[in-house]
A and B are shown apart, each in its own frame.
Chain A
């Protein structure tokens, strides 16, 4: 067999030209690259400007090089994706179109992740405009995952903190290197640009929105998206009709129900003290215990519970932080109030048991003297004031607690209905507790029934509103409640109805207690449904994804 090339090589001919890749000469500012040939970065942003992503949907082939390159750069495991690729489709075969979205973080002008963060873990970098997240400051409360309507921040179970795309700024951009996704894309669909923020505020609506993307109005996303010239008008994300119940967030179910119960229980106790001169010391202790359990449970929601106290920091900006502040004040006031209720009793800590144990006689005598001194020093209405403070902080706390759920990333929660629901829970459970304290007096029985009817009414109106909403996430809540979660919904209705129906038949305090328990159970189920039925706002996901990112 003749092998002409081999002959040439043996004869010393230059048969093989070693071609250097001409394209490699396009290096510009870039010294190093991990993947691909880097395109030059734009010059750094000046005042009134920031970096931002440009995503060209006409070039993207949905290959996910960007996703894997990002994971490799950041050392993330496969279940955390700081850049995600989603699919949108529309049209009728054979005139269908499948297009792809590749989204990291949108480095918004008004980042909702930052506004809501209780510990100031987010910051919008001055020179570059990049929204940076600090994993060491983060306490893992995951509030940002509710606030971002794009689902950008991702909670890492392994680390107990949240993380997200940060355009690898102070690491790569300042060295003149592109982020990993820009370098890796074989089609050059992702680029870094510089944008003038004032101008962008005027024109973002046309370029920041796309099918499969939540509205850019929520946080003023800066990512510019180039859409294909002709897209089918019905283009939508492929997972539009995939509805799955969300996590239950059990610590929060417990916390919200029990704080609401505790707050109105204290309100009832206080009211009965003022208007009825009854001192329900034991009830106060019980309510205090419930409140403590509730607030303790809430720290279990954090990835880093031991850092919980830092959540007080951002009360000026974050409703979550305000809730923590109000409930902390409530807890302190409630403790003082409960203690005061005990102290104002004649005799104070003069418990018979201790008396009989002669060893402690001197101690109890000293304590009794102390108590009498304090009693003498206290202004007459000090106890009532403490009670009043408890109630005010408590009601404010419930309000903040409800208000924080009005998050852009959770449309089903983002309405005044949430505030109504939380307060109605408080009224219902509080009246049921008061009903026990009053020994099933008529006015407390009425209060329970009115609160119960109001709850049913409000729930009914909310269902209608959800079912008829223009937002698919809200219609999704309705669908979940009446299909996958319908058994639980029925249970909730049964518990509430049973409790209400039994109210007139309970004439003593001991018969009022089971009713309260029924109603509490009903509220737990209701709150559980609140958490699991919400449909998050998010970018499109892949067609066969087991779970949306």
Chain B
């Protein structure tokens, strides 16, 4: 600030009263004048998978405040601290502004045309030399569903590589596999409303009070429930519980299996439901041979009485809800635990009716979107790679020969990295994720990235530890600057709208994908007549 300003401030002549003044805003009421907005744009939160509706207040081309959308059924106007301060991310430091290409070992600014051209050329070169599967794509759980859909088609049908996965694998793939094994398809059954009508709610490996606080309103609203919280730590959620189960870390599977055995042994399961809707009951019973109360008590560190009581509560409930998040997912036995949870729900018929559900609470704001439409671990629309019927249907809808649609998935994220180490994947496109921070094995990752011929990183921020290693950095727009839909944990799709324009030359990921497709020559084929995300939504 200028010398005069400094003197005015330090002497005390100026106490910045203008900056900190208040006024009455027609929407917010009496509040700081810096929060008053000229227009309000409805959108959906881009942080977690609760998927709250919110409105962004825009003044002079900047988002100055947010408020919860009182009409949105998920949150009814409430926002958690992340949502309340989300507008600060748009103007945060280190936004990526320009495409950067590494020349002479330095990232230098280039135009979009050169950036896209270089990317397509280098990818094509790698694929020609090493085969189509030598290109890999690592995506995220935070793009809009329309962007996932476009990216999926671009990668599988445009670039023609099946080695495409997202950071969601590190996180939610356990829940996905568990659902697929139990039900044949991904997609959590149930809704947030079940939290209000269930009479027994079991939360396992989930700290919703800390991570999905808006869901707690529903828990508090359900006065007749028994809330059982299972966690090695006394968390904020455990403090809300009627029964707190302090089990030893990593013993969730033993607990659920013991509960299964008690429910079966004491005849608390729904025989009709099992007969009409399930298979494999006898194998299940046989597999639980070892899970006596004493055995489970030894593994979990709980008393046999507590395990027994919990099993009875669940078995006798009218509508029982099991919710879990990463405490269950992030484990080598995660898929089995999810299966066990699904088994519990299935044999007691606690599924598909109000209040009853084995419900996986998702993490990222649109991990569900990539599961639905991403074309990475399954065909768009929860269809299966392996199903010929599904492939033919898609081929018809898309007007392409059915042979172009892969019949199995490619490598998953950790395997892509391993393949890069082995030299099988030589070109990699990382979108909206920061592996240098989030990937578990940094040394392997660095080795892998160093082995590549060409690395493209598309992110809203630069520099990040990952963008610093890239050959090409593509600046992307973030939440609040682009439009599309997010799908939340209960499979509710909400629209997110753009409130402001992206900074400098950053573009929305949707536009970037279309530009790459154009350069690749497949834009008209894969995205006929598309100009906006609405076109992807329509398809």
Show the binding face of A for B, using Cβ within 8 Å. 1, 19-21, 23-24, 31-37, 59, 61-65, 67-69, 71-75, 93-94, 96-100, 135-136, 138-140, 158-161, 163, 168, 171-172, 175, 177, 180, 184, 186-188, 302-307
CB distance from A19 to the nearest CB of B (A): 7
CB distance from B385 to the nearest CB of A (A): 15
On whether the beta carbons of A63 and B29 are closer than 8 Å, the reply is no
Residues on B with C-beta less than 8 A from A158 are 16
Instruction: Pick the 7 closest A-B CB pairs, nearest first.
Output: A304-B12, A171-B30, A75-B32, A94-B246, A68-B81, A61-B209, A63-B213
On whether the beta carbons of A72 and B80 are closer than 8 Å, the reply is no
- Give bound CA distance, A311 to B29, whole Å: 35
* B381 interface contact, C-beta 8 A: yes
Chain B residue nearest to A23 in the complex (CB):
B76
Residues on A with C-beta less than 8 A from B9 are 160
On whether the beta carbons of A73 and B35 are closer than 8 Å, the reply is yes
8 Å CB contacts to A: which residues of B5-44? 9-13, 15-17, 19-20, 22, 24, 26-35
9 A–B pairs (Cβ distance < 8 Å), ordered by A? A24-B76, A36-B70, A59-B220, A61-B239, A63-B213, A72-B84, A177-B29, A303-B15, A305-B10
8 Å CB contacts to A: which residues of B42-83? 65-68, 70-71, 73, 76-81
Q: Kindly identify which residue among A23, A186, A302 contacts B214, using a CB–CB cutoff of 8 Å.
A: A186
Residues on A with C-beta less than 8 A from B213 are 61, 63, 65, 186
On whether the beta carbons of A35 and B73 are closer than 8 Å, the reply is no
Known: A63-B80, A187-B216. A135 touches B70 (CB 8 A): no
On whether the beta carbons of B239 and A97 are closer than 8 Å, the reply is yes
Residues on B with C-beta less than 8 A from A61 are 209, 213, 216, 236-237, 239-240
- Give bound CA distance, A172 to B31, whole Å: 8
CB distance from A296 to the nearest CB of B (A): 14
Residues on A with C-beta less than 8 A from B217 are 186-187
Q: Kindly identify which residue among A20, A98, A305 contacts B236, using a CB–CB cutoff of 8 Å.
A: A98
Residues on B with C-beta less than 8 A from A36 are 68, 70, 76-79
- Give bound CA distance, A188 to B213, whole Å: 13
CB distance from A544 to the nearest CB of B (A): 13
* B234 interface contact, C-beta 8 A: yes
- Give bound CA distance, A190 to B378, whole Å: 46
Q: Kindly identify which residue among B30, B76, B84, B234 contacts A68, using a CB–CB cutoff of 8 Å.
A: B84
On whether the beta carbons of B15 and A160 are closer than 8 Å, the reply is yes
* B244 interface contact, C-beta 8 A: yes
- Give bound CA distance, A17 to B15, whole Å: 54
Chain B residue nearest to A188 in the complex (CB):
B220
- Give bound CA distance, A177 to B235, whole Å: 33
Residues on B with C-beta less than 8 A from A34 are 27-29, 31, 67
Chain B residue nearest to A168 in the complex (CB):
B30
Q: Kindly identify which residue among B20, B73, B393 contacts A21, using a CB–CB cutoff of 8 Å.
A: B73
On whether the beta carbons of A35 and B78 are closer than 8 Å, the reply is yes
CB distance from B514 to the nearest CB of A (A): 26
Chain A residue nearest to B26 in the complex (CB):
A32
On whether the beta carbons of A93 and B73 are closer than 8 Å, the reply is no
Residues on B with C-beta less than 8 A from A64 are 81
On whether the beta carbons of B70 and A69 are closer than 8 Å, the reply is no
- Give bound CA distance, A177 to B240, whole Å: 29
- Give bound CA distance, A98 to B22, whole Å: 37
8 Å CB contacts to A: which residues of B212-252? 213-214, 216-217, 220, 234-237, 239-240, 244, 246
Residues on B with C-beta less than 8 A from A37 are 70, 76-78
Residues on A with C-beta less than 8 A from B210 are 63
Residues on B with C-beta less than 8 A from A63 are 80-81, 209-210, 213, 216, 236
Q: Chain B interface mostly helix, strand, loop or mixed? A: mixed
On whether the beta carbons of A75 and B84 are closer than 8 Å, the reply is no
CB distance from B51 to the nearest CB of A (A): 15
Q: Known pairs A20-B71, A62-B236, A171-B22; list 11 more (Cβ under 8 Å).
A: A34-B67, A36-B77, A63-B81, A63-B236, A96-B234, A159-B15, A177-B29, A186-B78, A187-B220, A188-B220, A306-B12
* B507 interface contact, C-beta 8 A: no
- Give bound CA distance, A135 to B22, whole Å: 12
CB distance from A96 to the nearest CB of B (A): 5
Q: Mark B74-96, 1 if CB is under 8 A from A, else 0.
A: 00111111001100000000000
* B383 interface contact, C-beta 8 A: yes
On whether the beta carbons of A304 and B70 are closer than 8 Å, the reply is no
* B294 interface contact, C-beta 8 A: no
* B481 interface contact, C-beta 8 A: no
* B418 interface contact, C-beta 8 A: no
Known: A21-B71, A36-B68, A307-B12. A186 touches B239 (CB 8 A): no
Q: Kindly identify which residue among B11, B24, B35, B66 contacts A305, using a CB–CB cutoff of 8 Å.
A: B11
On whether the beta carbons of B30 and A93 are closer than 8 Å, the reply is no
CB distance from B230 to the nearest CB of A (A): 12
Residue among B210, B214, B239 with the highest chain A CB neighbour number at 10 A: B239
CB distance from B459 to the nearest CB of A (A): 24
Residues on A with C-beta less than 8 A from B393 are 1
- Give bound CA distance, A507 to B110, whole Å: 82
- Give bound CA distance, A71 to B35, whole Å: 11
* B390 interface contact, C-beta 8 A: yes
CB distance from A257 to the nearest CB of B (A): 24
Q: Mark B379-391, 1 if CB is under 8 A from A, else 0.
A: 0010100000010
- Give bound CA distance, A136 to B17, whole Å: 7
Q: Kindly identify which residue among B13, B84, B220 contacts A184, using a CB–CB cutoff of 8 Å.
A: B84
Chain A residue nearest to B27 in the complex (CB):
A32
On whether the beta carbons of B65 and A72 are closer than 8 Å, the reply is yes
CB distance from A447 to the nearest CB of B (A): 41
- Give bound CA distance, A188 to B236, whole Å: 16
- Give bound CA distance, A100 to B22, whole Å: 30
- Give bound CA distance, A65 to B209, whole Å: 12
On whether the beta carbons of B30 and A175 are closer than 8 Å, the reply is yes
On whether the beta carbons of B12 and A139 are closer than 8 Å, the reply is yes
On whether the beta carbons of A159 and B20 are closer than 8 Å, the reply is yes
CB distance from A498 to the nearest CB of B (A): 39
On whether the beta carbons of A74 and B84 are closer than 8 Å, the reply is no
On whether the beta carbons of B35 and A72 are closer than 8 Å, the reply is yes
Residues on B with C-beta less than 8 A from A171 are 22, 24, 29-31
- Give bound CA distance, A68 to B78, whole Å: 12
Q: Kindly identify which residue among B32, B67, B236 contacts A35, using a CB–CB cutoff of 8 Å.
A: B67
Residues on B with C-beta less than 8 A from A68 are 81, 84-85
- Give bound CA distance, A171 to B25, whole Å: 11
Residues on A with C-beta less than 8 A from B81 are 63-65, 67-68
Chain B residue nearest to A163 in the complex (CB):
B20
CB distance from B322 to the nearest CB of A (A): 21
- Give bound CA distance, A187 to B208, whole Å: 13
On whether the beta carbons of A94 and B15 are closer than 8 Å, the reply is no
Chain A residue nearest to B245 in the complex (CB):
A94
- Give bound CA distance, A175 to B80, whole Å: 25
Chain A residue nearest to B12 in the complex (CB):
A304
Chain A residue nearest to B208 in the complex (CB):
A61
Residues on B with C-beta less than 8 A from A97 are 234, 239
Residues on B with C-beta less than 8 A from A98 are 234-236, 239
Residues on B with C-beta less than 8 A from A139 are 12
Q: Kindly identify which residue among A62, A73, A99, A160 contacts B209, using a CB–CB cutoff of 8 Å.
A: A62
Q: Kindly identify which residue among A24, A73, A99 contacts B239, using a CB–CB cutoff of 8 Å.
A: A99
CB distance from B36 to the nearest CB of A (A): 10
- Give bound CA distance, A188 to B71, whole Å: 19
Chain B residue nearest to A67 in the complex (CB):
B81
On whether the beta carbons of A35 and B209 are closer than 8 Å, the reply is no
Residues on B with C-beta less than 8 A from A184 are 78-79, 84
Chain B residue nearest to A308 in the complex (CB):
B12
Known: A1-B393, A186-B214. A65 touches B20 (CB 8 A): no
- Give bound CA distance, A341 to B435, whole Å: 79
CB distance from B300 to the nearest CB of A (A): 12
8 Å CB contacts to A: which residues of B322-353? none
Chain B residue nearest to A27 in the complex (CB):
B70
On whether the beta carbons of B78 and A65 are closer than 8 Å, the reply is yes
Residues on A with C-beta less than 8 A from B73 are 19, 21
On whether the beta carbons of A75 and B34 are closer than 8 Å, the reply is yes
On whether the beta carbons of B31 and A73 are closer than 8 Å, the reply is yes
